[in-house]
Every structure is written in structure tokens, then in C-alpha cells.
Amino acid sequence: MSLRDCSLGRLYYRGLEKAVLPWIKNRGITPNRVTFAGLIFAVMVPLGFSAHAFWGLLLIMLAGIADTADGLLARDTGLKSDFGAFLDSTLDRISDTFFLMGFWVLFWLDGRWVLEATILFFLVIISIYLISYVKARAEAAGLDGDTGIMTRPVRVVYLLVWAFLLMVFPGTAEALLWIGLSVFLIACTFTAGQRIVYIRDQFSFRI
């Protein structure tokens, strides 16, 4: 699923191209620097959540904007490269982990069911890495692996909505944490399965 396929996604990209991209270009910032800036924002997410859900939300948002802007900048300036794409994808895995650590911090601060929550977070991380790994292996074999409901842009949007709800409804934080984590785990696991089946069918077609 691509953000460009929906009206809100197209509006988001147009906003970046008209407002954020010119600001970055005028300062001579390279795409790789934007990529690293996104990583810095992501690393700060757990610290942001430890202060307040608003700061966690803001940092995920900034990291997401940087993650989108680096590719747009690379294409616009002609600096697109295979290494840049490789670096972006690699650092995305680190960012994904720190995003989840931010939500884990909220369980830790609550002090209840921390072990159970930690186990679920580990399962989510495995699912996310599997989604990425399956796609990479498929593309290395010359196949299409970009399918499933929880692509990375959708996962980031999901985390933003989750953080927003935690900020707006602090009185129901415990329920929102468990519901959000459970739905996220189920959706990511399902997506990994979707990709495996999708790629298996392509191998079968080759034979």
C-alpha cells in the first residue's frame, strides 16, 4: 500500500515538495544528511515519550518527514544513488526499533505487565524485520515483494495515530497501549505472511 494512492498521501507529498523541499535545497543539505537527521529524530523518540506522548508523536512525525524528504530531494537534485537507497533502507530498520521503544517506555513507566509487553514488542520487531527481509530477498531474486497492508509508510502512519490517541486520551492510556500493540502485531504478522505467499506464487509461476 502506497501513501501516494490516497488523497491524504498525495496532499502530504505536495506539501513536502512545495514547502519542505525548497527549504532543504536552499541550505545545501544533501539527501544523506536528511536521512541521518531522520535517524537522530528516531533515536530521540523513547526520550520524547518518557516526557510526554506529544513529544513522542512530534519526533516520529519529524523522522517520518525526513524519511520521505530524503528520497524526494535525491530525485529532485539528481543525487539519487544505489548507496543512498541502501543507506535509507538500513537506517529505517534502526528507526523502526526506536519508534517501538518509545511505546515500550510507556509500559515501563506504568510498571505493570512490563514483561508481557516486552515479549509482544519482540514479536512485533521480528515481524517488521521479516516484512523487510522478505521483500529484499524477493527483489534480489528479481521478484516483486512490495505487497501487504502494513508497508513502512502505513506503519509510520499507524504509530502516529496511536501516539495521537495516547496524547488526546491519557485517561485510557493502558487500554490504548494494549489495543494498539495487539493490532499492530497482528497486522504486521499478517503482512509478513502476505508477502511470503505472494512471492511463493511468483516462484511457482516461474517454474
The whole-model pTM stands at 0.91
State pLDDT tens for residues 34-45. Answer: 999 999 999 999
- What is residue 207's predicted lDDT score, i.e. its pLDDT? 53
- Block residue for cell numbers 511457482: 204
State pLDDT tens for residues 40-67. Answer: 999 999 999 999 999 999 999 999 999 9
State pLDDT tens for residues 106-137. Answer: 999 988 899 999 999 999 999 999 999 999 99
Statement: residue 206 has pLDDT above 70: no
- The CATH code of the domain that includes 86 is 1.20.120.1760
Q: What dihedral angle (degrees, nearest 10) is formed by the CA atoms of 185, 188, 190, 195?
A: -160
* Active-site residue, from 67, 70, 88, 92: 92
Q: Number of structural domains, the chain?
A: 1
State which residues form the domain around 159.
Answer: 3-206
Q: Which three cell numbers stand for residue 107?
A: 509500559
Residue 144 bears catalytic tag: no
Binned at pLDDT 50, 70 and 90, residue 81 comes out as confident
